[in-house]
Structure 1
Amino acid sequence: MIKKLVLAVAALLASTGFAFAQVDVNKADAVALDGVKGVGPSMSKMILEERAKGEFRDWGDFQDRIKGMKGKKAMKLSEAGLVVNGKPMEAGMAKPDKTAAKKEAKDKAVEKKAAM
């Protein structure tokens, strides 16, 4: 009974390790990219098409070349196991969403106007 329980726990731990395996955008095929939570067939196709033009140098290059890949989305994909040249995305690497930057600028303008 205890052996079965230990074996079941070991199998569970081993399978969760595979779920968080890193997938490098410069090496993965469409199936591996689709296996990353948040990446679907259309995104993996876009990644493969851009990679055919040249490998991604870093997260900044990846975010510049993949449509809609900014800020939070890039960070979530990195947390799900996506890497660029073997490196996960670090907090300071995220490029801000344009809408978030516009909202922040608008908020600052409102604060400045209210202070007058």
Structure 2
Amino acid sequence: MSKHYFASLLFAALAATSLATSAADTSKTAPPKAEAVQVAELGKIDLNSADAATLQRELSGIGESKARAIVAYREANGPFVSVDELLEVKGIGQAILSKNRDKLRVD
């Protein structure tokens, strides 16, 4: 009988250790990336802080070249004062702005 008791005790100890290790592993999450923070605030993308990759990923009709053009416009002309100023960027028209207006903000 002592063999069964010892085996059961050993099994319980190993199972508890395994569960504790699994719980510890899931608590080690990486901090959010800057791109995620840019989008998470107010659920909108800030045209004055979003990088090209974020713009391309989050906006409809914005590919790599248009995303880079938005960032280049911001660097050359300073921060956007309104979402409508996006129309000044080459390749951005009213249709693209209309599709994305609710996703954008300017801080």
- Give the TM-score normalised by the residue count of structure 1: 0.47
Match of 1:82 in 2: 104
Match of 1:57 in 2: 81
Q: What CA deviation, in whole Å up to 9, does each residue of 1:53-80 have, x standing for no partner? A: 111111232212x12323222010123x
Partners of 1:41 and 1:59 lie apart in 2 by 19
2:66–2:92: 8 Å Cα contact kept in structure 1? no
2:46–2:104: 8 Å Cα contact kept in structure 1? yes
By percentage of residues, which structure has more helix? 2
* Structure 1 gaps, min length 5: 1-17, 87-116
1:36 to 58, 65, 87: 58
Partners of 1:82 and 1:60 lie apart in 2 by 10
Match of 1:24 in 2: 46
Equivalent position SS for 1:55: coil
Quickly say closer, same or farther: Cα 1:59–1:37, change in 2 above 3 A.
closer
1:33–1:44: 8 Å Cα contact kept in structure 2? yes
Indicate the percent of aligned positions where both proteins have the same amino acid. Answer: 25
Match of 2:94 in 1: 71
- RMSD of aligned C-alpha atoms? 2.1
Which of 1 and 2 has greater Rg?
A: 2
Equivalent position SS for 2:58: coil
Correspondences of 1:101-116 after superposition (within 5 Å) = none
Aligned length: 65
Partners of 1:57 and 1:26 lie apart in 2 by 9
Equivalent position SS for 1:26: coil
Partners of 1:37 and 1:56 lie apart in 2 by 17
